[in-house]
């Protein structure tokens, strides 16, 4: 099945539709950039100075940031055991996924994005984070959506560069 980019939200839609819509566009590009990759290429380290920046590693990181921003930070719910870090562990531990199939990572990412959208749909854009990490300066759901658009778009750029290094494919095509 060939991945497709989610259409942009209508230009005259309300703020919530715009924010969630633009985030969904970026999320769909993640799957598009991974479309047709072999497992070997999905886990190939093409940047000597950044060996964790693989297609699979970025997908795992994006799933993690969805979980951490919407569940841990926004809702303030206790971790369900998904936190990959230990006290003295690697700061990018969520990107250690050499043994995890790309299809599984993409499915987990899609599932986390759906949970994030459900959380946003159930709350006001003005609702502030409840998690302890940013208790001194909590952000609103609006802030988190803007941040997630930025975060996801930035990593889509990384996926685009890595994909070009792997097989020459660029742009909105896989």
Which pLDDT tens digit goes with each residue over 5-58?
A: 889 999 999 999 999 999 999 999 999 999 999 999 999 999 989 888 999 999
By residue range, what is the domain housing residue 30? 20-80+94-167
Examine residue 131 and state whether it is found in any structural domain, yes or no.
yes
Q: Residue 29 in contact with residue 157, Cβ under 8 Å?
A: no
Compare 112 and 93 and report the one with higher pLDDT: 112
Q: Distance between CA 106 and CA 109 in Å, rounded?
A: 5
Other Cβ atoms less than 10 A from the Cβ of 7: the count is 10
Top-confidence residue, 84 or 167: 167
Task: Flag whether 12 is in a domain.
Answer: no
If DSSP codes are grouped into helix, strand and coil, which group holds residue 111? Answer: helix
Is 5 inside any structural domain? no
Residue 14 forms part of a structural domain = no
pLDDT of 2 above 90: no
What's the confidence (pLDDT) of residue 90? 79
Q: Domain containing 64 — which CATH number?
A: 1.20.120.450
pLDDT for 65-83, tens place per residue? 999 999 999 999 988 877 7
Q: Is residue 88 part of a domain?
A: no
**pLDDT given at position 174:** 40
Asked if residue 105 is part of any domain, the answer here is yes
Residue 91 has pLDDT above 90, yes or no: no
Model pLDDT for residues 102-139, shown as the tens digit of each residue: 999 999 999 999 999 999 999 999 999 999 877 789 99
Closest CA to 34 of 165, 160, 168: 160
Amino acid 85: pLDDT:
67
Q: If 0-12 CB within 10 Å is exposed, 13-18 middle and 19+ buried, where does residue 89 land?
A: exposed
CA distance 155 to 82: 21
Number of folded domains that form the chain: 1
Q: Is residue 121 part of a domain?
A: yes
């Amino acid at each position: 099945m060939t991945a497709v980019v989610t259409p942009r939200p209508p230009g005259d839609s309300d703020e919530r539709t715009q924010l969630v819509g633009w985030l969904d566009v970026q999320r769909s590009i993640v799957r598009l950039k991974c479309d047709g990759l072999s497992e070997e290429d999905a886990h190939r380290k093409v940047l000597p100075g950044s060996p964790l920046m693989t297609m699979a590693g970025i997908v795992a990181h994006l799933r993690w940031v969805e979980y951490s921003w919407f569940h841990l930070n926004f809702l303030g719910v206790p971790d369900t055991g998904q936190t990959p870090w230990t006290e003295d562990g690697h700061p990018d531990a969520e990107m250690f996924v050499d043994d995890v199939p790309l299809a599984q990572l993409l499915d987990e990412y899609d599932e986390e994005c759906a949970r994030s959208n459900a959380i946003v749909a159930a709350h006001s854009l003005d609702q502030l984070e409840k998690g302890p990490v940013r208790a001194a300066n909590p952000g609103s759901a609006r802030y988190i959506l803007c941040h997630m658009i930025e975060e996801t778009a930035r990593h889509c750029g990384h996926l685009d560069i890595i994909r070009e290094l792997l097989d020459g494919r660029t742009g909105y095509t896989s």
